[in-house]
Amino acid sequence: MLFGKYINKYYLKYAIFFIIGIAALILVDVAQIYVPQYLGKIVDILSNVKEAPLNADQQNQILYMIIATIVIALIMMLGRFLWRITIFHASFKIEANLRKEMFLKAERLSQRYYHTNSVGTVMAWFTNDIETIQEFFGWGTIMLVDAGFLAILVIVEMFILEPILSLVAIIPILLIALWGALVEKFMSKRWEYRQTSFDNLYDFSQETFTGISVIKAFVKENQQLKAFAKLARRDKDVNVDFARVSVLFDSLINAIIAIILAIIMGVGGYFVYAYVTNNPVVLFGHQVTLKPGQLITYAGYFDLLIWPMMAMGHIIAMRSRAKTSLKRITRFLDEEEEIKDVIGSEDLKDVKGKITFNHFSFIYPGSNNKTIDDISLEIKEGETIGIVGRIGSGKTTLVNSLLRLYNLEENSLLIDDKDIMKCSISSIRKAIAYVPQDNFLFSDTIENNISFSKENLDVDLIKQGAIFSDIDKDISDFKQGYETVSGERGVTLSGGQKQRISIARAYVKKAPIMILDDSVSAVDVKTEETILKNIAEQRKGKTTIVVASRISTVSHLDKIVVLDNGKLEAFGSHQELLKISPTYSRMVYLQKLEEEVEGGN
């Protein structure tokens, strides 16, 4: 069996399916035992008949055993059908539950975890490793129970029928079990090498497909192909090495089985010959009196024993793989959740939108440099605030901190005068509508992307969001309108269209706080003006934060935050900043100069 803290609970949860399935397995095993007995009796009846035809009693006996064999076949068919639908049902349920548990875990892990573990590696755990565990819960359980019970049942019957000959058969079986125990650890390591190799191949493939446009633009197809071929060859070598060991192990078992069968037929045949010639063999004080029918029965028993011996090899290989995969998944599920609700956390309710940075500083995990350094400012409820600064000045970090993506110092960031470190994460994020820099869209219809925050489609609200972000006309021009599929990461849309759909998605959430992180950089000036006008009119009384690289985007907002190297240089209106902020004044000057140059051209 396979045990671990994340899977033990499933034995109890799906116990009824396992019990019914195991009972059906045992029923099939018991039924199988009678088939060699009936065949042996038929052979004995026929061997006693010389030239005279079968009498009525003998004919009835043979007819009874034929009918009984047919009944046994029907019982075996029904039993096998029953254990398949119960045990496999349980195994697939366990796979689904474990994958769900892993998915929920993945959602709770911090940004740092995904900086150190690639998406390809994580996806390999969700696919290859879970399927390996499911295989063991399904076929592994069947083989273990079926092979174990059938082996014991058959060996007992063999010893009852002929103990001396059974000793010949049982010793190699014990050797197979000992050999399997020694091989399991070796096979486990080989499987881990194989899985790691698969992770690397998955990583490379995922990254290549994601960046396929860049690869094509720089004409690097051949270079990527060579790199992939190198990884594929390495993966092939690891897989061939694992397969070689597996085949060698299986071949040794098959060879041992064939040798045992040859010995049984040879020695058993000699015992029958000795009995027929009235020269019975005596071994260890035991007289061997093996009849022809008994030899057929004994050979039938051994034929039933072949499956448990072969299954033993499969179980060892399967268990070694499952143990390794479970170890990898356990490491993932054991990963510490850095971002989580503190004990006694409360929900943010009736959020007004007041935001306070109180000597706020931030250092990314693994870094020694402050990205944000001692910022103190207050955003009043209902204000529309702009954030500007040079590249790398900490604009995105500042707004991302509101989403509680990282742990912060207590009382350094407050919403409605409540420390967000003492508020539940879900309530914080529900209160904020966020438009990220990368404008991520799902491979789904435009209407589903816009209504992502809602459980049910609201066509009118979706339309309002599209009008708010000035994308409604573009969508209407599409052949399928709002049902147009955006493609993976919105690949079928332009940069400006993706930005505006992301803004519409945020609008539909109707959150008291909205963050637009450089979200109008890809649209023209006229569209930008329309969006800013809609923000001023439709989000009146709600807090809105606009991160921008263009001064035109923020110049008409209530107040503007100017960051320089992670520090707050100034905070005020456009006119105030022209007087007190060198960084802001220079940005205004450079952008005016740029406009003049473009106008001259």
- Exposed, middle or buried, 505 (CB in 10 Å: 0-12/13-18/19+)? buried
Q: In which residue ranges of the chain is pLDDT below 70?
A: 48-52, 168-169, 172-173, 177, 179-185, 264, 268, 275-276, 283-290, 313, 488-490, 595-601
pLDDT of residue 600: 52
Report the distance separating Cα 209 and Cα 204, nearest Å: 9
Kindly provide the b/e burial profile for residues 14-31, where b requires at least 16 CB atoms within 10 angstroms of the residue's own CB. beebbebbbebbbbbbeb
Report the distance separating Cα 6 and Cα 104, nearest Å: 14
Tens digit of each residue's pLDDT (9 = 90 or more) over 509-526: 999 999 998 888 778 888
pLDDT of residue 506: 92
- Edge-to-edge strand ranges of the sheet holding 355-362: 372-379, 355-362, 413-415, 418-419
C-alpha distances in Å from residue 579, one per residue of 236, 375, 557, 576: 67, 20, 17, 5
Residue with tokens 């399916």, as numbered in its chain: 17
Residue 419 region, left (φ>0) first, then alpha (ψ -120 to 50), else beta? Answer: beta
pLDDT of residue 194: 78
The pTM of this model reads: 0.72
Q: Report the top-level CATH class of 8-334.
A: mainly alpha
Nearest Cα residue to 116 out of 381, 286, 371, 332: 332
**451 contacts 435 by C-beta, under 8 angstroms:** no
Could you check whether 8-334 and 351-431+514-522+545-601 share the same CATH topology?
A: no
- Domains of the chain, residue spans: 8-334, 351-431+514-522+545-601, 435-510
Residue 241 region, left (φ>0) first, then alpha (ψ -120 to 50), else beta? Answer: alpha
Tens digit of each residue's pLDDT (9 = 90 or more) over 287-315: 666 677 777 777 777 777 777 777 776 78
pLDDT of residue 235: 86
pLDDT of residue 215: 85
Q: What is the DSSP letter of 573?
A: -
Composition of the chain by helix, strand, coil, percent to 5: 65, 10, 25
Report the distance separating Cα 386 and Cα 587, nearest Å: 14
Q: Residue 218 has which token pair? A: 């720089």
pLDDT of residue 285: 65
| Options 3.20.20.140, 1.10.357.10, 3.40.50.2000, 3.40.50.300; CATH of 351-431+514-522+545-601 | 3.40.50.300
* 435-510 under CATH 3.40.50.300, yes or no: yes
